[in-house]
Amino acid sequence: MDFDFSDDQEQLRDAVRKWVDKGYDFERRRKTVAAGGFDRSAYNELAELGLAGLYISEDAGGMGMGPVEGMVVMEELGRGIVLEPLTQTLIAGGVLSGYAGDALKAQWLPKIASGEALVVLAYQERKARYKLDICEAKSTQSGAGWSLTATKNMVPAGDQADAFIVPATVDGKIALFLVERGAAGVATRGYGTQDGARAADLQLTNAPASLITTDGLVALEHAIDIGIAAACAEAVGVMDKTVAITAEYMNTRKQFGVAISSFQALRHRMADVKMQLELARSMSYYASLKLNAPADERRCAMARAKYQLGTSMRFVGQQAVQLHGGIGVTDEYIVSHYFRKLTQLEMTFGDTLHHLGEVSARMQDTAGVFA
């Protein structure tokens, strides 16, 4: 039982933090938001740091690292509310490494690791909400390959990505496919999202696809769990910075002739915010440390973690705005951007109520971290 980070992990954290502080300031981010919410050159800079290959083995050109390194990186990106979707890259690296055949791995993993290819998960369907086993997308075998017909929504950076990981059914059973954006029968419509980033609807009409695995639901659940652990870590970074911004504001803003941080009602609210932050950090650790556990244990852990993180994100985000007062609801001031990011993260990979249901359905007679 040990929660210290290794020297290598601390160095990784420093490197990412340095890039966020120096290379990704609020002005650059603002320009990216105005330009549509995705900046390929910023994504390439993340890849140059090696982050795109975090979950890809060294012989495939990646760094071969694990969930704790993923957590460290995502915390730092969260601190800077970075728009480019590295979570998707962690998912793609993890899922292709874990479930794809050798040819597909050889074709895609080095390109993902280098940043040459951005591969994102396209799974959201209208009727599924947060459920993973509801899938209307269909695939049929055509000669040596497959073709897919599907409509997917809210695909991160969907009109900028190079390829998609897409669940679709084969004879009623979910399988996982890889579809290239440039292929025939692929259409996208991009739009901005509430957090300032970018997503797209994806329409596939008999689009050619490569099969990743016929064990699609297992792989999709794993993909989502990689996403949940990353989102939890990212949220901790976002909240950490939100709390720091709010504390600084409270110590500067004066009303009735004194700093508003001197008022007990506000101080106690801040104590509650700190509580939610630390519970969230604890459960983010828990999520990352359980990411390689057997599937049942892993799924239960992610549900617990995302429930806590969702609860914390909503409270910390709302209270940060409230503690700022009027300036908190402006677009010009930074805290509203953090609030919007937290709101979007809460509803990504299953919201708080969804995961409460998951915890409730999976609950055992035992209790605690080791149960």
Smallest distance from another protein to CB 94, Å: 18
Of 91, 119, 179, 250, the one binding another protein by CB under 8 A: 250
Tell me how far apart the alpha carbons of residues 270 and 148 are, in angstroms, rounded to a whole number: 51
Residue 271 binds another protein (CB under 8 A)? yes
Smallest distance from another protein to CB 11, Å: 15
**DSSP structure class, residue 124:** B
Choose the stretch contacting another protein; rule: CB under 8 A; options: 33-41, 77-85, 153-161, 287-295: 287-295
Backbone angles phi, psi at 41, to 5 degrees: -70, -35
CB contact at 8 A, 89 and 99: no
Tell me how far apart the alpha carbons of residues 75 and 201 are, in angstroms, rounded to a whole number: 28
Both tokens of residue 233? 């870590």
Q: What is the DSSP string of 242-286?
A: HHHHHHHHHHH-EETTEEGGG-HHHHHHHHHHHHHHHHHHHHHHH
CA proximity to 185, closest of 150, 155, 212, 153: 150
Residue 3 binds another protein (CB under 8 A)? yes
Residue 95 binds another protein (CB under 8 A)? no
Site string for another protein, 23-52 (x = CB under 8 A): ------------------------------
Residue 292 binds another protein (CB under 8 A)? no
Residue 258 binds another protein (CB under 8 A)? no
CB contact at 8 A, 305 and 230: no
Residue 181 binds another protein (CB under 8 A)? no
Smallest distance from another protein to CB 31, Å: 32
CA proximity to 240, closest of 162, 338, 109: 338
What is the C-alpha R_g of the chain?
A: 21
Smallest distance from another protein to CB 365, Å: 6
- With respect to another protein, which residue has the nearer C-beta, 41 or 264? 264
Residue 360 binds another protein (CB under 8 A)? yes
Tell me how far apart the alpha carbons of residues 231 and 130 are, in angstroms, rounded to a whole number: 15
For 224, residues 6+ apart whose C-beta sits below 8 A from its C-beta are 123, 132, 302, 349, 350
Of 64, 185, 190, 357, the one binding another protein by CB under 8 A: 357
Residue 283 binds another protein (CB under 8 A)? yes
Smallest distance from another protein to CB 227, Å: 19
Residue 2 binds another protein (CB under 8 A)? yes
Q: Which residues bind another protein (CB under 8 A)?
A: 1-6, 9, 68, 243, 247, 250-251, 261, 264, 267-268, 270-275, 278-279, 282-283, 285-286, 288-290, 304, 307-308, 356-357, 359-360, 363, 365-369, 371
